[in-house]
């Protein structure tokens, strides 16, 4: 295998974009020094010159020229007669330089070296990918869909590196096609065996945080801080923000003129409803803002148990709870309080609290009723039988018994 063939054989190595030239030269040199040690027993008297741009490589052997018959170390010395065969004007005491041709190693040895080189380069590539993405956890990246599987989607970045978007990290309404570009946040980078695995997410709160940072210059500049984000991906999210500059309205800055800044994020998140609220260290006020759009009459806090009893007008209870209990669930996560909502007792002078029926109705049944915002007898009776069954998920017989018990109280 001559130098020209070597150029073609190793030509792909110069295409590895993530490996710098000194590293490439070191790897090539190491591989060929291994060949030299196998053939000559030592590589001490050899110089290897690598040209990674052309894929060319030269190996030169240098030995001290001595008189005929005085050669003691064949690896380090050469007789004057042999030296003159290499260079006619050689003299005793000089160094003789001899180029080692690749043919002298044999084709099998060269092919083995090529395989070793490929293996070493791939290891370096994998290590480089790991280091590159390990420092980018929390960043948004755009990848092209390469393969869609049942449990995950395989993406490729601009350099052809593989990225994984698991099904559990996708918004439930996400639908991807091959060749489509999608955005996600890098949540973890790990090594499985010798392969770096980059995991992405579109459901993680940090994805929404980074989208806001991209859309809202004040967040990027640090004038507005995101205190906390809670999400039900694809459905609803609540974001608490705070401004360190009294002249800046953090909520208005995040929403933008006529919603210009938030609309793009909502589209990216498949029409996820995003509530931006002004953060405060006042727990009462924070809970009140977190339960928006419901209007609260009063709040009773139990700081030791981290519980909040919230009283609202009857027509505001369903707003506070939200569809499927989502609004109150997110508000609890955002504030750190377990929130229970009750109808304002001023409106219910002739009503009876459900707790008074604890002797006749099982506690878990009462909890199911409270879970849909019903904490008094009349609030339950205001709902028809079918709606109670649907919203509480109780058995029809149980609902019939509840209605009978509550009606008898007023009869």
* Phi, psi (degrees; rounded to nearest 5) at 378: -65, -35
pLDDT of residue 333: 95
How far apart, in Å, are the Cα atoms of 293 and each of 109, 190, 284, 329, 376?
A: 76, 42, 15, 14, 23
Supply the pLDDT for residue 171.
94
Sign of CA dihedral 269, 274, 280, 284: negative
Q: Would you say residue 113 has pLDDT above 80?
A: no
- Condensed to tens digits (0 to 9), the pLDDT of residues 287-343 reads 999 998 888 989 999 989 999 999 988 778 888 888 888 999 999 999 999 999 887
Q: Residue 355's pLDDT is what?
A: 79
At residue 1, the pLDDT reads 43
- Residue 3 clears pLDDT 70, i.e. is over it: no
For the chain, domains (ranges, CATH) are: 3-131 (3.30.1480.10), 136-201 (2.40.50.140), 204-279 (3.30.300.20)
Residue percentage of the chain with pLDDT more than 90? 38
pLDDT of residue 174: 93
Pick 397 or 121 by higher pLDDT: 397
Determine the Cα–Cα distance for residues 388 and 368; give it in Å rounded to an integer.
10
User: How confident is residue 200, by pLDDT bands cut at 50, 70 and 90?
Assistant: very high
Which of 3-7, 9-13, 288-292, 309-313 shows the lowest mean pLDDT across its residues?
3-7
- Name the residue with higher pLDDT: 3 or 390: 390
Q: What is the pLDDT of residues 371-390, one digit of tens each?
A: 888 888 888 888 888 888 88
pLDDT tens digits, 354-365? 877 887 888 888
Average pLDDT over residues 31-45: 82
pLDDT in tens, 221-271: 999 999 999 999 999 999 999 998 888 999 999 999 988 999 999 999 999
36 pLDDT tier (thresholds 50, 70, 90): confident
pLDDT number for residue 8: 47
Q: Does residue 203 have a pLDDT over 90?
A: yes
User: Is the separation of the CB atoms in 122 and 110 below 8 Å?
Assistant: no
pLDDT given for residue 53 in this prediction = 60
pLDDT tens profile 272-291: 999 999 999 999 999 999 99
User: 379: left (phi > 0), else alpha (psi -120 to 50), else beta?
Assistant: alpha
Percent of the chain with pLDDT over 70: 91
């Amino acid at each position: 295998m001559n130098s020209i063939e070597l150029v073609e054989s190793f030509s792909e190595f110069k295409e590895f974009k993530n490996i710098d030239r000194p590293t490439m030269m070191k790897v090539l040199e190491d591989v060929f020094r291994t060949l030299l040690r196998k053939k000559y027993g030592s590589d001490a008297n050899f110089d290897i010159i690598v040209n990674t741009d052309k894929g060319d490589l030269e190996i030169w052997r240098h030995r001290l020229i001595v008189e005929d018959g005085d050669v003691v170390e064949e690896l380090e010395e050469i007789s004057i007669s042999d030296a003159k065969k290499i260079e006619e004007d050689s003299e005793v005491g000089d160094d003789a330089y001899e180029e080692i041709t690749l043919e002298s190693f044999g084709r099998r040895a060269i092919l083995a070296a090529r395989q070793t080189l490929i293996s070493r380069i791939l290891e370096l590539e994998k290590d480089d990918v790991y280091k590159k993405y390990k420092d980018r956890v929390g960043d948004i990246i755009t990848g092209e869909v390469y393969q869609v599987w049942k449990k995950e989607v395989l993406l490729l970045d601009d350099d052809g590196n593989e990225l994984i978007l698991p099904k559990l990290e996708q918004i439930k309404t996400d639908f991807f096609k091959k060749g489509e570009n999608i955005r996600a946040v890098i949540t973890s980078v790990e090594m499985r065996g010798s392969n770096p695995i980059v995991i992405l997410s579109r459901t993680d709160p940090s994805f929404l945080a980074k989208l806001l940072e991209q859309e809202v210059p004040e967040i990027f500049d640090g004038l507005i801080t995101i205190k906390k984000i809670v999400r039900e991906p694809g459905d609803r999210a609540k974001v608490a923000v705070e401004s360190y500059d009294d002249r800046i309205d953090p909520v208005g800055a995040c929403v933008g003129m006529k919603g210009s800044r938030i609309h793009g994020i909502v589209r990216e998140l498949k029409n996820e409803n995003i509530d931006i609220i002004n953060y405060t260290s006042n727990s009462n006020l924070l809970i009140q803002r977190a339960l928006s759009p419901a209007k609260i009459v009063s709040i009773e806090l139990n700081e030791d148990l981290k519980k909040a009893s919230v009283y609202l007008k009857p027509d505001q209870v369903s707003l506070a709870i939200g569809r499927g209990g989502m609004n109150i669930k997110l508000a609890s996560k955002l504030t750190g309080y377990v929130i229970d909502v009750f109808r304002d007792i001023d409106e219910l002078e002739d009503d009876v609290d459900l707790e008074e029926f604890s002797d006749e109705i099982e506690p878990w049944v009462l909890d199911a009723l409270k879970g849909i915002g019903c904490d008094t007898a009349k609030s339950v009776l205001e709902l028809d039988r079918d709606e109670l069954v649907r919203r509480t998920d109780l058995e029809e017989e149980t609902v019939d018994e509840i209605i009978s018990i509550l009606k008898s109280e007023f009869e």
